[in-house]
Amino acid sequence: MLQKTILLIFTVSLISCSIFPQRVRERKIQSEIISKISVKAPNLSNCASDHKIFAHFKEDRIRVVLSISINNKGLVEKFKLDDKPYNEDFVECMFKVIDLISFPKIKNHELIELEQPFIFSKK
């Protein structure tokens, strides 16, 4: 019984050590993706201005939540905005900006999913 307990503790400690580097790597990749998206924030803001979402919603500030999935080749596999009734031109503009970003390639056949909120303000 004691041997089984020691074996179990040893196994759990090995597994937990292998999970930690995985989490660090995922955070690093997510941080890099968010950084690349943040660089394009002025372009995304232009989408909001050019396609008149402020008039559409009759608001001076609009919060838009972008959800994307990046595949192992660094390509956008899924693109979605939150469930507000955005006009199609605005959504297309946002997609074009995001799709042109060179995201990092991922070694494993993983799919990195993240949500990034933006606050657009009328100028």
User: Any bridge partners for residue 65, and if so which?
Assistant: 117
pLDDT at 14: 46
Written as one letter, the residue type at 4 is K
Helix (H), strand (E) at residue 15: helix 2-39
What domains are there in the chain, each with its CATH number?
A: 33-121 (3.30.1150)
| Percentage of the residues of the chain whose pLDDT score is greater than 70 | 80
pLDDT at 20: 47
- Quick one: pLDDT band at residue 122, thresholds 50, 70, 90? confident
- Mind listing the pLDDT tens digit for each residue in 12-36? 444 444 444 556 667 788 889 899 9
Residue 61 in contact with residue 121, Cβ under 8 Å?
Answer: yes
- Mind listing the pLDDT tens digit for each residue in 78-93? 999 999 999 999 999 9
